[in-house]
Structure 1
Amino acid sequence: MKTFALDKSHARIMGVCAGIADSTGLDPLLVRIAAVLLTLAWAGSWGVAAYLIAGFCAPVRPN
């Protein structure tokens, strides 16, 4: 398993889901769907806050 870093080459918004997908070996679309479903299922503001914190604090993977 790779370490987590933002993947700007496959990013849609900030690259958080693409980075998670790259570090786990999953398809980015599946990670994005899971992130949306988890954010809607639980307190949505916490999911959005976690996404933004990860997007601003995580290192960027060089291309």
Structure 2
Amino acid sequence: MSVIYILLTISIIVAIGFFVAFIIAVRNGQFDDSYTPSVRMLFEDELVKEKTEKTILTKND
């Protein structure tokens, strides 16, 4: 029974360690996405073209 208490204590300590590491990473901007906005502008024209083509096709029908 004492082994369960030891394993439970160790798992809680490890979980708290991972949570603290996650909070530190978020505060340091580790998960900020700086790549997608720069690439998104390259693909927006294709989305606009598809929408205009669809509206042109539906208006001509």
Give the TM-score normalised by the residue count of structure 1. Answer: 0.28
TM-score, normalised via structure 2 length: 0.28
Bigger radius of gyration among the two? 2
